[in-house]
């Protein structure tokens, strides 16, 4: 913030103005005059001639910290402190957010679960209006891997595809695509039509009614590492050759 110099008749009464400066996370509480330690609030009348020192008067803005400090902790990482202006909300983000430690910070084989303050849990997108300084510790959980077996077929030719090995939180919902209107987005297999997926371990099929070939997606709760195998519907012709009435 740059200083501002004003010219004023020293015989006049001067009304202390509101502050035009901005100081993030601080609130303006008044003006300190010359070497005085107690600030005067905006709107106070002062007699300039009584305050002149060395040919002038210096008004210094006085500030008061106006935020609560939220400290975020993660093992192996430097603490991050985020100030939240008093009376405002904070929206929780994952530890991988750029405001914290970024995507490379997640421990191998883990996913961010939630934040813990004492025994209180806070999840991503939860909102909090703090009334004091608080400390939150990142909690990570074992990731569940979701993978795909195309059973002799091929992955979609498009770079846009949801059929890639990924990791999800345990007991979370995974959107499993069971039909694609755009051919390049769907798995392919010569002489077959893609009809859906089967859970390799449980045998459960998605969609449950394979005749529902236009059901575009289903929600699947993932509780462990899961592999989905493609289900194919034959879409060719069988040609039978007979010689002397024998096949």
Please state whether beta strands 134-142 and 127-128 pair in parallel, antiparallel, or not at all (unpaired): unpaired
User: Position of tokens 């609560």?
Assistant: 68
Q: Produce one character per residue of 112-135: b if its CB has 16 or more CB atoms within 10 Å, e if not.
A: bbbbeeeeeebeeeeebebeeebe
The end-to-end CA distance of the chain, in Å, is 94
Q: What distance in Å separates the CA atoms of residue 120 and residue 229, rounded to the nearest whole number?
A: 40
| Cα three-residue angle 186-192-196, rounded to 5 degrees | 50
Structure tokens at 114: 């939630």
Q: What is the dihedral of CA 200, 201, 204, 205, to 10 degrees?
A: -10
Question: Who contacts 140 (Cβ-Cβ below 8 Å, separation ≥6)?
Answer: 106, 107, 110, 111, 112, 113
Which contiguous run of DSSP H or E holds residue 50?
helix 48-51
Query: What is the reported pLDDT for 212?
Result: 61
Q: What letter would DSSP give residue 107?
A: P
Query: What is the reported pLDDT for 195?
Result: 87
pTM, 2 dp: 0.66
Phi and psi at 246, nearest 5°, equal: -120, 145
Question: Who contacts 207 (Cβ-Cβ below 8 Å, separation ≥6)?
Answer: 178, 196, 215, 218
Structure tokens at 150: 């195309």
Query: What is the reported pLDDT for 235?
Result: 84
Query: What is the reported pLDDT for 122?
Result: 97
**What is the Rg, in whole angstroms, of the alpha carbon atoms belonging to the chain?**
33
Q: What distance in Å separates the CA atoms of residue 163 and residue 127, rounded to the nearest whole number?
A: 33
Q: What distance in Å separates the CA atoms of residue 207 and residue 193, rounded to the nearest whole number?
A: 14
Q: Produce one character per residue of 62-77: b if its CB has 16 or more CB atoms within 10 Å, e if not.
A: bbeebbbebebebeee
Query: What is the reported pLDDT for 197?
Result: 93
Please report, in tens digits, the pLDDT of each residue of the chain (247 residues total): 555 565 666 567 888 999 888 899 999 999 999 888 899 999 999 887 777 766 678 889 999 999 999 999 999 999 999 999 999 999 999 999 999 999 878 888 889 999 999 999 999 999 999 999 999 999 999 999 999 999 999 988 776 677 889 999 899 999 998 877 777 788 899 999 888 899 999 999 998 776 665 678 889 999 999 999 999 998 877 777 777 766 5
Nearest one of 174, 173, 133 to 164, comparing CA atoms? 174
Phi and psi at 214, nearest 5°, equal: -105, 10
């Amino acid at each position: 913030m740059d200083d501002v110099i004003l010219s004023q008749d020293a015989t006049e009464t001067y009304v202390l103005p509101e502050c035009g400066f901005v100081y993030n996370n601080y609130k303006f509480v008044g003006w300190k005059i010359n070497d005085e330690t107690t600030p005067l609030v905006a709107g106070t009348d002062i007699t300039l001639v009584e305050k002149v020192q060395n040919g002038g008067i210096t008004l210094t803005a006085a500030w008061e910290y106006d935020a609560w400090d939220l400290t975020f902790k993660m093992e192996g990482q430097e603490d991050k402190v985020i100030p939240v202006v008093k009376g405002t909300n904070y929206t929780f983000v994952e530890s991988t957010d750029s405001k914290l430690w970024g995507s490379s910070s997640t421990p191998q084989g883990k996913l961010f679960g939630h934040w813990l303050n004492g025994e209180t849990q806070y999840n991503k997108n939860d909102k909090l209006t703090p009334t004091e300084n608080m400390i939150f510790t990142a909690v990570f959980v074992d990731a569940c891997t979701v993978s795909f077996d195309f059973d002799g077929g091929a992955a979609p030719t498009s770079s846009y595809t949801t059929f890639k090995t990924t990791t999800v939180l345990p007991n979370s919902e995974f959107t499993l695509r069971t039909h694609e209107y755009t051919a390049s987005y769907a798995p392919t297999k010569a002489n077959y039509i893609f009809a859906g997926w089967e859970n390799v371990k449980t045998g459960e099929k998605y969609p449950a009614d394979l005749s529902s070939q236009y059901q575009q997606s289903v929600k699947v709760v993932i509780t462990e590492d899961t592999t989905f195998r493609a289900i194919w519907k034959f879409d060719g012709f069988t040609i039978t050759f007979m010689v002397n009435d024998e096949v």
